[in-house]
Amino acid sequence: MEISFVAWGPSGPGTAVFGMAEGAGLTGAAAAADQAAGGALKRAIGVTRFTGKEGKIVELLAPANVKASRMLVIGLGKAEKFDAAAAERIAAAIMARLLNSGETELTFAIEAPKRAKVSDAELAAHLAFGATLRSYRFDRYMTKTKDEDKPSLKSIRVATRSAVAAKKEWAKLVPVCEGIFLARDLVNEPANVLYPDEFARRAKALGKLGVKVEVLGIKEMKKLGMNALLGVGQGSAHESRLVVLSYNGARNKKTPPLAFVGKGVCFDSGGLSLKQPVPMMGMKGDMGGAAAVVGLMHALATRKARVNVVGVAGLVENMPDGNAQRPNDIVKSMSGQTIEVLNTDAEGRLVLADAIWYAHSRFKPKFVVNLATLTGAIMIALGTEHAGMFTNSEELAKRLTRAGMEEGEPVWRMPLGEAYDKAIKSKIADMKNIGGPYGGSITAAQFLQRFVNGVPWAHLDIAGVAWQDGEHKPLAPSWGTGWGVRVLNRLVADHYEK
């Protein structure tokens, strides 16, 4: 999609889009366009129930004396609540309407209403951002798409009084968009294509951005004592891998890095604790945490972030062959702690146990943040709008909460406490990998905390937000959402770059 920022002027060819705040009437560019169209916009609004409510649209074919082919007015919502996130949502709504419409060109001529919480440059950049995120498609396996179902829109112009500043703001967002698209691609790929070796191969592409990429195989992981991770993948025909991504962008290369760790179960059958058919559908996306880590590293390296960062992705397949891990097996993790495996479908925490220990013991980071599609229980608690956040750090809790609110990837803090540890106490090992029927997302987090070794840490359970069955998230038209890239990029940008 070609994106350009242009000065205000008469609407060009294609569709012209204007905005109207709730209850405000047509003002500015919209009023000027209405005058040029002989009052056609006001007449169209007058015969509908359009009031400027966010996302509502009035559309008409442009009169003969107007250069544009059609004119749209989209509601901006209440003026005092209009911000960059609202700009992204309305741009996404326009893209949903026009992407496959036959239209090839689009011009946004939307002005921020008075009392809005966004500058002209930010408005323009986030209109482009929202439109671009909504334009994503994962159609590489479609061979018979009809012409009328193919995207027709080729170029987007954003009219603004601050074109130079808007271009600078947009330049900051392009790497993030690329990282989100990469994460979505990884989550959307089928498991027969994206198994651990193939995931690792794609991660190696970050080398051209200045990221050091290491891939550990079974031999190296055995030597390190990563038996918890390796036990999960031992029933698969595809060997497990650990991908380690290192980016040193800080002026002081010796500054301790930030560490992000992702669960990368490329397919989760449940192992011998086999899932039922319906819950097994979608388990190609059980590597959403690892996908977010790779997408984040792409974004940080592309925008040359002034920070040292490591990303670790534990990549396995959880399959039920004759060599598969059994319920009641005991494994010794890299930390030396032993785990009684009572349910082989509680495998993500076993992968993360070794990956987290590896990250903090090797790199001595300022903190560790891990992401994982870890538990169905978090979806029972929070639905599909918030990720669950568990942390031992008040500072990380505040910063992640703020970043999530600002980036539209909200997190909700969940409790931790010694009382929950009782649920994972084993009679024959240091711990067991499942608790009782209650508080499943909490006991999973308690399990992970045993491998943090006192380092500032946050666990993001993204089972409810990494993918979606419909298209209820306006900026994410596909199954995979790419959740995590935005919130973590914002966390880094706001607090850790020097």
Find out whether 348 and 440 touch, Cβ atoms under 8 Å.
no
The H or E element containing residue 21 is strand 15-21
Residues 239 and 319 sit within 8 Å (Cβ to Cβ): no
Quick one: tokens of 99? Answer: 């992407």
H-type alpha helices, 274-347: 277-280, 288-302
Measured CA to CA, the distance from residue 371 to residue 491 in angstroms comes to 14
Q: CB–CB of 452/356 below 8 Å?
A: yes
In 10 A of CB 197, how many CB atoms?
A: 15
Angle formed by the axes of helices 348-363 and 440-449, to 10°?
30
* Residue 410 to residues 59, 462, 483, Cα–Cα distance (Å): 33, 11, 10
Lookup: tokens for 338: 């032993």
DSSP 256: P
| Three-state SS annotation for 260-278 | EEEEEEEEECCCCCCCCHH
Nearest of 18, 28, 6, 82 to residue 50 by alpha carbon: 18
Query: How many residues are there in the chain?
Result: 498
Give the burial string for 371-384 (b: 16+ CB within 10 Å, else e). bbbbbebbbebbeb
Catalytic residue among 70, 117, 275, 332: 275
Residue 49: how many CB atoms within 10 A of its CB?
A: 8
- What are the CA-CA distances from residue 11 to residues 138, 158, 302, 362, 427 (Å)? 32, 11, 34, 57, 74
B/e letters for 71-90, b = 16+ CB within 10 Å, e = fewer, are bbbbbbbbbebbbbbbbbbb
Of 349, 399, 473, 490, which one is the catalytic site residue?
Answer: 349
Question: Which residues are paired to 260 by β-bridges?
Answer: 311, 369
Q: CA 358 to CA 312: how far, in whole Å?
A: 9
DSSP state of 12: -
Residue 448 near residue 333 (C-beta atoms within 8 A): no
Active-site residue flag, 349: yes
**Residues with catalytic roles:** 275, 349
